[in-house]
Amino acid sequence: MTTEPLAAPAGGGTAAGAPPLHRRLLGRLVEANPAVVTVLSVFTALVFGGVLIDVTSTTVLHAWSAIGSHPGTALSLTVTTVTDAYGAILSGSILSPSVLGHAISSGSGWTQVFNPISETCVAATPLILAGVGVAIGFRTGVFNIGAQGQVIAGSIVALYVGFAVHLPIWIHLPLVVLGGAAGGAAAGLIPGILKARTGAHEVIVTIMLNYVFLNLLNYVLGGPPFQLPGQTNEISQKMLPTARMPHLFGSTLRVNLGFVIAIAMAALGSWFMNRTTLGFSFKVTGANPDAARTAGMSHAKVTIVAFAISGMLAGMAGMATLSGTNFFLSSGYGGTLGFNAITVALLGRNKPWGVVWASLLFAMLDVGGAAMQVRTGITLDLTSVIQATIIFFIATPMLVREIYRLRSTGQGALQLFTKGWSG
């Protein structure tokens, strides 16, 4: 009996028929998978932002009006204006090379070197906490847009614990954290129970609860025990020093323990969703509620617990800012934090570690945008346009796929797990 020689794999692949590593990596780069689409969405938004910078710059437009006589000047100004703007964002949010060089040569000024990244971490802290909470809700199939109200609820409870209780810091601070978590969880339980027990639409309920908690904040700030004594405006008492987050690198840098808590909760959220039975139930319920019911999973229980966890993390987001940097509440506290949490959850593909990176990106744009306005005169509103453009492309993966001619993965990898809002 003779043995036929093995045929060489086509295309220079391995003996098992798999293509070489470099070809597999190249193939991944031209696929419409979530990572590639996210990176290209950010890149496209930055390009779009660069175009806006140029078309709104009178200096650049004036140079282009004289392109016939000075073409080099127009092109140079076009590039320089954009690079200066984005350079100001990076140096204002991460690191300034000139400040670093001065610190190295003089041996002083290291606080200025690390201040930008410190401020970025401070801005990212509440986004991480609230974003992870919203992402867990999305993965479960519930569209929690009540994070804004849950932020306020957690802040109210944390504030009361922070100024009304007198204890050593090693007891007081954990109680403040627990107070913020409990307040947010209680606010999250309301839409969770209503949806699970009565079928109430979570979008309508959470929208209305945002206004309920916003007006509740105004009410409690209008008198004792919350209102600052001798004050007629809606401003609260300040948290006691024992209720404040300690700074991580000295009093001159504002980054504090809240950032560590945010990263820890993101890690815990990732472990919970990927390594626990209940987390698996969350994902199955979000992906296919009928299959979850068939498998014996309680849809009502999963919905209630998911809302409670989502609200808990949103409440901790309000607590982190209150205990870390602000130390008091005022009317309108929280701004648009709850709605920004939806943005970073979608940008992070509803995965905790994705939310961390998305939050850092948005914090960079916010912190760096202020530096850009000071140094270049370009309006801060441009960073909001860039953020909105990123989300636009994230939400339209088919558009990104067509722009860059990406191959379809054929696996539904771009699904955003936000079925709950549509009922």
Residue 384 forms part of a structural domain: no
pLDDT value of residue 66: 78
Q: Which domain holds residue 163?
A: 125-361
pLDDT value of residue 422: 39
User: CA 313 to CA 129: how far, in whole Å?
Assistant: 5
Residue 155 forms part of a structural domain: yes
User: CA 348 to CA 342: how far, in whole Å?
Assistant: 10
pLDDT value of residue 413: 42
Mean pLDDT of all residues belonging to the chain? 87
pLDDT digits (tens, 9 = 90+) for 372-383: 888 888 888 888
Residue 313 forms part of a structural domain: yes
| 266: phi then psi, degrees, rounded to nearest 5 | -65, -45
pLDDT digits (tens, 9 = 90+) for 93-106: 999 888 999 899 88
Q: Model confidence at 359, in pLDDT bands (50, 70, 90)?
A: very high
Whether 414 shows a pLDDT value over 60: the answer reads: no
Q: What is the mean pLDDT of residues 4-14?
A: 50
pLDDT value of residue 400: 83
Residue 26 forms part of a structural domain: no
Residue 351 forms part of a structural domain: yes
pLDDT digits (tens, 9 = 90+) for 60-108: 888 888 777 777 788 888 899 999 989 999 999 999 888 999 899 888 8
Domain total of the chain: 1
Whether 316 shows a pLDDT value over 90: the answer reads: yes
User: CA 358 to CA 364: how far, in whole Å?
Assistant: 10
**Amino acid letter, residue 15:** A
Residue 354 forms part of a structural domain: yes
Residue 161 forms part of a structural domain: yes
Kindly write down the DSSP assignment for every residue of 47-75, as one continuous string.
HHHHHHHHHT-HHHHHHHHTTTT-HHHHH
Higher pLDDT, 28 or 317: 317
- Please, what is the Cα angle at 359 between 133 and 51, to 5 degrees? 135
Residue 191, token pair as written in the block:
């839409």
pLDDT value of residue 409: 61
Higher pLDDT, 219 or 381: 219
Residue 156 forms part of a structural domain: yes
Inter-residue contact 358 to 348 (CB < 8 Å)? yes
